[in-house]
Structure 1
Amino acid sequence: MSDWIANRRVLAAFGDPAGAKAVLAYLSAYGRAAATITAVSDRKHGFYEDFDCKVQPWPARAAQDWLKDKDILLTGTSVPTGLELELIESAARVEVPSISFVDHWTNMAARFQSGARRILPDRIAVIDEQAGRVAHREGLPAERVCVVGNPYHEYLRAWRPKVAMEGFLASIGVDPAVPYLLYAPEPLSSFNLDKTYGFDELDGLRLLIKARRARGRGDVAIVVKGHPNQHHALFERELAATAEQNLVYVREADFNLLAHGAAAVIGFFSNSMIEARLLGRPVIRLLSLLRAGAADPLAGWREGGWTEVYTDHELVDALAAALDDIRKN
């Protein structure tokens, strides 16, 4: 894939965190082939520091000015849509080719929809053949879709912590001496997806607390990692109102480090579940809450390796197994 940017002046643009990671990982792997790289985002994410690429704020200037003297545009994709579509449309006007990374199997067409208009890049880079089939079903033109994998997945396979875990955990209010479960849900309520799936992120936390109590493991902490699109007050009010101990809500922290130290990473459908597996961590997916007939958005992930729980009893057993494993290690 290095030939996409070889000897070219690159503009990279992204908003959504998963799209940003795909683009930045691609540039980390192949960026040396480019003539120059300019990166811009309408969001700020802590993981930018993990990549050797300065990210400038959007909109410091107009879209056409960002594209001046550029040979190619690389973008992530966002739902709801963001700066990527404005730049893709501007790139087409000035005949700058564009490539967009799609990091999931869901909302393929929605990522390129602005009101009644569909705005497409020259290439749509998807993660696997299943994603390609979904793209075709949703009406994206086959000649623009190419299967390339997700560059961030390859980055994660080689990832290792660069800081001491004890200091990192203490800095975010987590006792390094206490084993913890990492709850990393997507912000279902932020996008009214609770109506689609039949539950929201608070339901998952309550289920997890119930299972911890049933196992008699109040000594094990539950660390809740807020998604970048999460309405943080939702969780903060919930934790403030409960008498449960060893509950910590973290708005912003390095997910890879949090997952690395966890007995297990727990959630539903987000990319965090895949990322935790690629980091070699046990993953428990709470599917007992899923409304009958609702599709599992991660059904396209073929590598598996996680535990899917469909009953309260299965969750208790999965937590016990994860905690037993961390004691052995």
Structure 2
Amino acid sequence: MNKKIMLLARDPGGANTVIPLAESLRERGYQVDLYGKDLALKRYRQMGLKGQDITEILAEIKTSSWEDFLSQQHPDFIITGTSGDDFTERYLWEAARSIGIKTFAILDQWMNYGIRFSNFTLKEQGQYWQNKLHPYLPDYILVMDETARQEMLSAGIDGRRVKISGQPYFDLIVSARNSFSAEQILKVKRELGLQPDELIFTFISEPISQDYADSNGELFWGFDEKSTCSMLLHTLDKVLERSSQRVRLIIKQHPRENEDNYSFLNNEISNEHISISTVKDIDSWSLLRASDLVCGMSSMLLMEAIILGCPVLSIQIGLNRASPLILVKRGILSPILKQEELENTLRTILVDKDIPIINWHIESGAVDKVITYMEELLCINWPSTVEKR
């Protein structure tokens, strides 16, 4: 009988880490049961997969419910994403440990390392820093690289639990980089209703104001999605005040954002050459490839855009602490920290046609590493080998 592997995610980022594993595990002869909650289910559908909604199976998401479920289903191994503001995966790790099922959790991003395994959510950062304990831990945490491993250790996670695997989702992006045709890009532009001479500037939003809400009205990072997008829009307006160039600013919202998050921008621009569109349910890769410029703060989509070969700007005006973007920490990308710098950069792009290109080499193979690590543990617990198709 084939080994049964359970995959679970709650957030879109977590879903991205397990999505590439589903097909590869099935190709190796494993039975794969894909579960999800909330926006992870939507992400599965976008990638052509159907996941089972765990909220329709469990009356309540808690450790004891997970224990009952696992006792009935008997998965041989569990691989999950991680969440910053939800405990679904955390309770699952706890339940699996009590039953004796091995678990992996895969990080999707170079930030919020320890809090994903704590008693707190992102909105409770202050409480977490005062009480940095990690009671919810899988057997192993798989991270993107040595930088992430060191950050996990600095957060207080036992290094024996941390393995470097790479980001499985990057395997998909690397393979997709050269698969976009000119016809596909034109199709995206037609769907967005663009004029032939209209440039696409895409702003990648994040729910920063939602995740890092402060009762004192202070911005955790010194900026949020609203302040950054507003600064981009007004600077673009200034740069184009004597130009006839048409620009469509497309705000790609995060799945967890409120639909009206940017309604305040409706009356802020009078330049007839600038138009604004807000989108959420759109194929991200097609939008990125169709864009003449991709702007954002620290979203994973910025990194995806770079891997896809798109020109990218990271705008972090007001930054009051170390940048959350890993490419900045590594010196691969320099963020824009002042309004004057943003104005000069946009002028260079629009007037001089000098488009910034960032070189960031990503090696594929993370999916194979994750499965290899899993099989090492399976071989310890179950001597039989899995026959590949």
Please report the TM-score for the alignment, with normalisation by the length of structure 2. Answer: 0.74
1:258 to 281, 284, 287: 287
Q: Which runs of 5+ in 1 are unaligned?
A: 1-5
1:214 aligns with 2:243: no
Paired position in structure 2 for 1:114:
119
Counterpart residue identity of residue 299, structure 2: S
1:60 aligns with 2:87: no
Q: Give per-residue Cα distances to partners, 1:15-38, cap 9 Å, x unaligned.
A: 111111011123344441242111
Q: Is the 8 A contact 1:10 1:34 kept in 2?
A: no
Alignment of 1:106-255 (within 5 A): 106-114=111-119, 118-159=135-176, 160-161=179-180, 164-171=184-191, 173-175=192-194, 177=196, 178-192=198-212, 195-216=219-240, 219-235=246-262, 237-244=263-270, 245-255=274-284
Counterpart residue identity of residue 221, structure 1: R
Q: Is the 8 A contact 1:190 1:229 kept in 2?
A: no
Q: Distance in 2 between matches of 1:91 and 1:322?
A: 52
Relative contact order, CA 8 A, sep 6+: which one is greater?
A: 2
Q: Is the 8 A contact 1:131 1:300 kept in 2?
A: no
Pairwise CA distance, 1:274: 0.9
Pairwise CA distance, 1:228: 1.4
Paired position in structure 2 for 1:24:
19
Counterpart residue identity of residue 194, structure 2: D
Q: Is the 8 A contact 1:284 1:318 kept in 2?
A: no
Counterpart residue identity of residue 13, structure 2: A
Pairwise CA distance, 1:47: 4.1
Paired position in structure 1 for 2:345:
318
Q: Give per-residue Cα distances to partners, 1:79-105, cap 9 Å, x unaligned.
A: 112321122122112211100001222
Paired position in structure 1 for 2:99:
94
Query: CA, structure 1 residues 80+303, in 2 after alignment: closer, same or farther (shift >3 Å)?
Result: same
1:308 aligns with 2:332: no
Larger C-alpha radius of gyration, 1 or 2?
A: 2
Counterpart residue identity of residue 106, structure 2: F
Pairwise CA distance, 1:289: 2.3
Query: CA, structure 1 residues 38+265, in 2 after alignment: closer, same or farther (shift >3 Å)?
Result: same
Partner-residue secondary structure (3-state), 2:14: helix
Q: Is the 8 A contact 1:11 1:70 kept in 2?
A: yes
Paired position in structure 1 for 2:301:
272
Counterpart residue identity of residue 182, structure 1: T
Counterpart residue identity of residue 156, structure 2: G
Q: Give per-residue Cα distances to partners, 1:212-260, cap 9 Å, x unaligned.
A: 122215611110010112223221x223333444111112212111111
Pairwise CA distance, 1:114: 3.2
Pairwise CA distance, 1:108: 1.4
Query: CA, structure 1 residues 307+257, in 2 after alignment: closer, same or farther (shift >3 Å)?
Result: farther
Pairwise CA distance, 1:52: 5.1
Paired position in structure 1 for 2:358:
none
Counterpart residue identity of residue 89, structure 1: E
Pairwise CA distance, 1:269: 1.2
Count of residue correspondences:
317
Q: Is the 8 A contact 1:102 1:127 kept in 2?
A: yes
Of 314-323 and 189-198, deviating more is 314-323
Q: Give per-residue Cα distances to partners, 1:126-166, cap 9 Å, x unaligned.
A: 11111111111111111110011101112111113488233
Q: Is the 8 A contact 1:283 1:307 kept in 2?
A: no
Pairwise CA distance, 1:275: 1.0
Partner-residue secondary structure (3-state), 1:265: strand
Q: Distance in 2 between matches of 1:141 and 1:197?
A: 28
2:317 to 288, 310, 315: 288
Query: CA, structure 1 residues 20+55, in 2 after alignment: closer, same or farther (shift >3 Å)?
Result: same
Partner-residue secondary structure (3-state), 1:186: coil
Q: Distance in 2 between matches of 1:266 and 1:65?
A: 46
Q: Is the 8 A contact 1:28 1:52 kept in 2?
A: no
Pairwise CA distance, 1:117: 6.4
Q: Give per-residue Cα distances to partners, 1:46-82, cap 9 Å, x unaligned.
A: 5424545321112222334653131110100011123
Counterpart residue identity of residue 100, structure 2: E
Counterpart residue identity of residue 224, structure 2: D
Q: Is the 8 A contact 1:126 1:150 kept in 2?
A: yes
Counterpart residue identity of residue 240, structure 1: N
